[in-house]
Amino acid sequence: MKPAVPDPALEVDILGGSPLWRGHEEALASALAAAAAAENVSGSVSLLLGDDAAIAALNTQFRGKPGPTNVLSFPPAGPGEGADGFLGDIALAAETIVAEAEFQGKRFEHHAAHLVVHGFLHLLGYDHEAEAAAEAMEARERAILAALGIADPYA
Sorted by where each begins, the domain ranges of the chain are 10-147
Give me the numbers of helices (H) and strands (E) for the chain, helices first please. Answer: 5, 4
Model confidence, pTM: 0.90
- Give the model confidence (pLDDT) of 51-96 as tens digits: 999 999 999 999 999 999 999 999 987 665 556 789 999 999 999 9
pLDDT of residue 83: 61
- Give the model confidence (pLDDT) of 108-148 as tens digits: 999 999 999 999 999 999 999 999 999 999 999 999 999 99
With cut-offs at 50, 70 and 90, classify the pLDDT of residue 6. Answer: very low
Is residue 126 within 8 Å of residue 136, measured between CB atoms?
A: yes
Torsion of CA 33, 22, 66, 32, to 10 degrees: 0
pLDDT of residue 5: 42
Is residue 71 within 8 Å of residue 115, measured between CB atoms?
A: yes
1: pLDDT strictly greater than 60: no
Sheet of 43-50, strands arranged across: 10-16, 43-50, 86-93, 71-74
pLDDT of residue 78: 66
User: What is the chain's Cα-based Rg?
Assistant: 15
- Superfamily designation of domain 10-147: Metalloproteases ("zincins"), catalytic domain (3.40.390.30)
With cut-offs at 50, 70 and 90, classify the pLDDT of residue 41. Answer: very high
